[in-house]
Each structure stands twice: as C-alpha cells, then as structure tokens.
C-alpha cells in the first residue's frame, strides 16, 4: 500500500484585522502550536513571551508589512 500524502499549506500571516490574544492590539505574529491551534500576538507581547513562544511553537509566521 502506498502512503497517501496530504498537501499542506503554510499558515497565513496575521492580517490587519487580527488582534493580539492578550491585549487586542494589531497582531504581528501568528504562533502555530504543535496540536494544530494558533495564537496571535502584537509586537509587545511577542517580545514579552519570546522565550516561551520559541519553546512551544511548531511555526512562527510574521505579518507582512
């Protein structure tokens, strides 16, 4: 039996309408979690939680400027 490959897409960067999950400011990064969920953070909270984000993130996507 040949394994089936499922194409995946990269997570979308945060858009202008996405808001930080901590303070509701405009989101600058999307943190994709290993379990499939994601969180978005403004620049301030991304810097504040940088160490933890690096430890738990499966992927980090930054906003397109």
pLDDT bracket for residue 27 (50, 70, 90): very high
What pLDDT is recorded for position 54?
96
Q: What angle do CA 23, 30, 11 make, to 5 degrees?
A: 150
Residue-wise pLDDT tens digits, 32-59 = 999 989 999 999 999 999 999 999 999 9
15 touches 31 (CB < 8 A): no
Tell me the C-alpha to C-alpha distance, in Å, between residue 65 and each of 13, 16, 57.
Answer: 10, 10, 22
pTM over 0.75: yes
Q: How many helices (H) and strands (E) does the chain have?
A: 2, 3
* pLDDT of 26: 97
């Amino acid at each position: 039996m040949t394994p089936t490959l499922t194409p995946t897409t990269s997570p979308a960067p945060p858009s202008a309408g996405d808001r930080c999950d901590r303070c509701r400011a405009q989101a600058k990064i999307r943190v994709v979690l290993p379990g499939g969920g994601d969180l978005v953070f403004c620049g301030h909270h991304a810097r504040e939680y940088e160490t933890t984000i690096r430890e738990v993130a499966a992927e980090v996507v930054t906003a397109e400027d």
